[in-house]
Chains A and B, each alone.
Chain A
Amino acid sequence: MLRYFRRQTAEKGVIFWASLLLFIGVLILFSASKGVLAKEGIFLKQCLWIIIATIAGVFIKKIDYRDFQRIAPLLYFIISLLLIAVLFLGSAGASRWIRLGIFNLQPSEFAKLITVITLAAYLAEKDIKRFPVLIVSLFIVGIPFLLVLKQPNLGTAFIFIVIFFAIIYEAGATRRQIITLFMLGLLSSPFMWFIMRPYQRERILTFLNPMRDPLGKGYNLIQSIITIGSGGLFGKGFLRGTQTKLAFLPEYHTDFIFCAFAEEFGFIGVIVLLGIYFMFFKSIVEVIYYTRERFARLLATGILVMFIAHVVINTGMTMGLFPVVGIPLPFISYGGSSLMVSLISVVIVANIKENTIMF
């Protein structure tokens, strides 16, 4: 039976798994919107975003993914400008958003995908083993990395590092190159401590000891763990979560949405959700495996690793395995920019798959 199930699911493409995740996301957001804060608006807004993103996806589906290789420099240029703009125009506090009417655009979300495209496009034609190529690759990731770090958005900056290593690895970087870069990064991390803003340091210290700041991030983490733990094996049931409904967790609909899920669907639910994510990842790996084109392979790898890193860091931080950073859970967290990028990425992967079969 397991074998049957496997065969059935293996045939399903990346779009199937993504849709399933999206459905779960809508369900849990619906539940979250019923809380004391009565954020009814977020549910409708997210639905609207899904429609917009789907329409965008249909159009992008028509574009041959190879075209991205050509327009990569243009996209890269635009997003760099937007990232600079957000530093000046961004809404105060952490400057991450550009306001567009009722919606807020978060350029850093788009920057992740565009960096993947650009790096893949560049390395598709260059040999990473050559030193100058490695340096240029470093620059391609370095610019958005620093701009995002300046916002400051520690989590997204970290995603850039992961993406960089994954793509150069896939492009055939030597073990020595990777280890050297890794060590260099590790050595420079103490310096990072000094350029961090006080609140970022505070977050890291709070991660190490949540009780350090029981009023701020520590409070979130404690509540987040209680919320997950109180879900138990089977969960409290759909729409019956109490922790999230009573707004113990201020950000339960965005970065902490996993808690709402774990509270209502329990341990079993978590295993199923992670299982779906796993199948989703596998369907992307499948595409990477079959494609013969170097650009497609690098592109899909970058997208894959981007998704994996998001899921692992987001779920990990809600249960105290990682520091609390602003990383959304793909397809599930509330947020238009993140959703848009996730759907476009999926469409690109599906596009690669179709073109591969035609070979």
Chain B
Amino acid sequence: MEGEKRLFINLTKLFFTVIILRCFYLQVIRYPYYRNLSNRNCIRTIETGIPRGVIYDRNMRPLAQDAPALHLVFVPYDLENPEKEAEILSGIISMDKQEILRKFKKKYINPFDRVYIKRQLTKEEVSLIEENMPVLPGVFVQEGLIRDYILGKNTCHLLGYTGEISEEQLRVLKEKGYKQGDFVGQDGIEKVYDDYLKGIPGGIQVEVDALGHQRRIMGRKYASPGNNVVLTIDQTIQEIVSEELGDRRGCIAVMDPRNGQILAMVSRPGFEPNNIREYLNRDGHPFLNRAIKGMYSPGSVFKIITEITALETGVIGEYDRVECTGAIEVADRVFHCWKEEGHGWVDINLALPYSCNIFFGTIGMRVGVAKMLEFASMFGLGVITGIDLPGEKQGYLPDKREIDPLNLSIGQGPILVTPLQLLSLVSTVANGGNIWKPYIVKEIISPDGKKIKEFSPELKKFVYISEETMEILKRGLKNVVMFGTGSRARLDKIEVAGKTGTVQRAAEELGLGTHGFFACYAPADSPKIAMVVFLDNASSSEAAGIAGKALKRILIPELNDSTRAETEELENVEIF
């Protein structure tokens, strides 16, 4: 018995001896060394940033990638004279002395961790700082990363941007390994797919001298990049629509009506993703992605719904006519057509191309508000499309008591849609009733090229519309471009179908102009592309003009390199 009890005690003796010997080694033999390290507090961790994956377009052309950059940082503990150093720095970098001082004097959890003062220094700034190094103890120029957005402003809303993690975000993202000062996706794809894009941070641990300068590297961890994201966006189309929209306030979105893949999306005004600060206080809401977050009355684009409702419910036939005299009186209100002298006797085949308000108002009264709203919601108005971008708005479908049939039938009054919802609407018409969920990310690929996740088209629902109705509608939409209100979108070689929408703003009397919509698809008989153009403070025919120019460059090959190959193939087929 005695011996058995001894076992545990003897084992303890053995372990304790080892521990005491180790302590003797650390605390007595190596004492001077560790004492020295501890006295000078001279171990520093330097992180080299979190590398992010590349964002590619559908043809694997990069849209966003990391690039090396030099940042200005400081170690709170190593600062000697914050006042003076802030003064010197404010003369070199364009930053207020008080602002620098505020950063210097803030309480940091770990006073040995580097804190960023300014990212992406210019060459001049770097050389000036290097010159002043001796009077700037605790301040360093550090190698790091910056996000390079190849198309800059043209993809700002789509890709979003990265920015220093905020305190609220830190609380949530802490468990994912984020720390103060880390960069994190703040909007767009960068935000939604942050988990995939984010890599593993690298860094070194160094021993530093009294001035905080690096003396010896004690350990190193290599960074590894995150996953790459491949978008459905086509860089060429994105550039074309960006150029055609120019600096006008508005947006353009392009989708493949056969599967819901977004090919391009641009909104103006935009911002420089690497220079957010400058845009924070600008007017025109530069951070607003109008394509998914802007809500507007659809105007005459809604006549597509009115027409479908009227034909499907059998309220009118193809050749039923209504006389437009330029105005009608309902109750004690006068309702005007946009054409003062009126369109005369029109049937549905002429009313849509001419966008006759009297015709649609009349049939709208016949079908009633409830039916039109029913069809509108069937086509997905009033709910989000489900695109993989943050902050999409659902628009607003009014209650049937809130709106009168005259206003609703021409898309005026308290009904709001996002441009993306109209894009989805014309796509559904183009493909004959399929509502595809719009999406932007096609696949996610690991740094070594393995496919991690693939996103395929998702059919949200199928809307059944009779063939006759579809045929009448499609013919009408073609005629809108052929000889109607959208004729500025007409192309020589390719037939375009679309619908204009001019929205009177509530405050028109105050001198505010109109909004212009043009939603279209092409080629009209086998649609490959659907597009919505929205212009703030402009007419719908201007919108149609922009759409026409963009479609021409996208679909007519000789103007455009990337589609040439495709057409050559087609030509070859013809030869054989």
Interface residues of A (CB under 8 A from B): 36-37, 92-93, 166, 169-170, 210-215, 218-219, 222-223, 225-233, 242-243, 246-248, 262, 266-267, 270-271, 274, 277-278, 281-282, 285, 288-289, 301, 304-305, 308, 312, 315-316, 319-321
Tell whether, in the assembled complex, residue A274 and residue B38 are in contact, meaning their CB atoms are under 8 Å apart.
no
CB neighbours (8 Å) of B4 from chain A are: 170
Instruction: Show 12 residue pairs from A and B whose CB-CB distance is below 8 angstroms, ordered by the A residue.
Output: A37-B109, A212-B219, A212-B221, A213-B219, A228-B26, A230-B37, A230-B38, A233-B27, A242-B41, A267-B24, A281-B8, A316-B18
Known: A214-B219, A319-B26. 10 other contacts (CB 8 A): A37-B109, A215-B221, A229-B27, A229-B33, A230-B31, A230-B38, A243-B38, A248-B43, A301-B8, A319-B23
Beyond A215-B45, A281-B12, whether A226 also contacts B37 by CB under 8 A is yes
Chain B 189-227, CB-CB to A under 8 Å as 1, else 0, gives 000000000000101110000000000001111000000
Tell whether, in the assembled complex, residue A274 and residue B203 are in contact, meaning their CB atoms are under 8 Å apart.
no
Q: In the complex, what distance in Å separates the CA atom of A247 from the CA atom of B76?
A: 14
Tell whether, in the assembled complex, residue B219 and residue A246 are in contact, meaning their CB atoms are under 8 Å apart.
no
9 smallest CB-CB distances across A and B, nearest first, come from A229-B34, A214-B219, A214-B205, A211-B219, A230-B38, A229-B26, A267-B27, A230-B34, A312-B15
Q: CB within 8 Å of A: which of B1-21?
A: 1-2, 4-5, 7-9, 11-13, 15-16, 18-20
User: What is the minimal beta-carbon distance from A273 to any residue of chain B, in angstroms?
Assistant: 10
Q: B5: which of A229, A231, A274, A285 is its contact (CB, 8 Å)?
A: A285
* Residues of A contacting B: mostly: helix
Beyond A37-B109, A214-B218, A308-B8, whether A232 also contacts B203 by CB under 8 A is no
Interface residues of B (CB under 8 A from A): 1-2, 4-5, 7-9, 11-13, 15-16, 18-20, 22-24, 26-28, 30-31, 33-35, 37-39, 41, 43, 45, 47, 109-112, 175, 201, 203-205, 218-221
Q: Looking across the interface, which residue of chain B has its beta carbon closest to that of A282?
A: B9
Residue among B5, B13, B18 with most chain A CB within 10 A:
B5
CB neighbours (8 Å) of A247 from chain B are: 109-110
Q: B34: which of A225, A304, A312 is its contact (CB, 8 Å)?
A: A225
CB neighbours (8 Å) of A225 from chain B are: 26, 34
User: What is the minimal beta-carbon distance from B10 to any residue of chain A, in angstroms?
Assistant: 11
CB neighbours (8 Å) of B110 from chain A are: 247
Tell whether, in the assembled complex, residue A278 and residue B33 are in contact, meaning their CB atoms are under 8 Å apart.
no
Q: A304: which of B8, B13, B24 is its contact (CB, 8 Å)?
A: B8
Q: Looking across the interface, which residue of chain A has its beta carbon closest to that of B107?
A: A36
User: What is the minimal beta-carbon distance from B39 to any residue of chain A, in angstroms?
Assistant: 8
Q: Looking across the interface, which residue of chain B has its beta carbon closest to that of A268?
A: B27
CB neighbours (8 Å) of A270 from chain B are: 20, 23, 27
Q: In the complex, what distance in Å separates the CA atom of A281 from the CA atom of B43?
A: 38
User: What is the minimal beta-carbon distance from A298 to any residue of chain B, in angstroms?
Assistant: 12
CB neighbours (8 Å) of B109 from chain A are: 37, 247
Beyond A214-B45, A214-B219, A222-B205, whether A246 also contacts B12 by CB under 8 A is no
Q: In the complex, what distance in Å separates the CA atom of A214 from the CA atom of B22?
A: 22
User: What is the minimal beta-carbon distance from A68 to any residue of chain B, in angstroms?
Assistant: 21
Tell whether, in the assembled complex, residue A218 and residue B219 are in contact, meaning their CB atoms are under 8 Å apart.
yes
Beyond A262-B27, A308-B12, whether A288 also contacts B37 by CB under 8 A is no
Tell whether, in the assembled complex, residue B45 and residue A246 are in contact, meaning their CB atoms are under 8 Å apart.
no
CB neighbours (8 Å) of B30 from chain A are: 229
Tell whether, in the assembled complex, residue A281 and residue B221 are in contact, meaning their CB atoms are under 8 Å apart.
no
Q: Looking across the interface, which residue of chain B has its beta carbon closest to that of A232?
A: B31
User: What is the minimal beta-carbon distance from B566 to any residue of chain A, in angstroms?
Assistant: 44
Tell whether, in the assembled complex, residue B12 and residue A226 are in contact, meaning their CB atoms are under 8 Å apart.
no
CB neighbours (8 Å) of B20 from chain A are: 270-271, 274
Q: B8: which of A93, A228, A277, A305 is its contact (CB, 8 Å)?
A: A305
Tell whether, in the assembled complex, residue B26 and residue A215 are in contact, meaning their CB atoms are under 8 Å apart.
no
Beyond A210-B219, A242-B38, whether A223 also contacts B27 by CB under 8 A is no
Q: Looking across the interface, which residue of chain A has its beta carbon closest to that of B35?
A: A230
Tell whether, in the assembled complex, residue A215 and residue B201 are in contact, meaning their CB atoms are under 8 Å apart.
yes
Beyond A219-B45, A289-B5, whether A214 also contacts B38 by CB under 8 A is no
CB neighbours (8 Å) of A212 from chain B are: 219, 221
Q: In the complex, what distance in Å separates the CA atom of A312 from the CA atom of B17?
A: 11
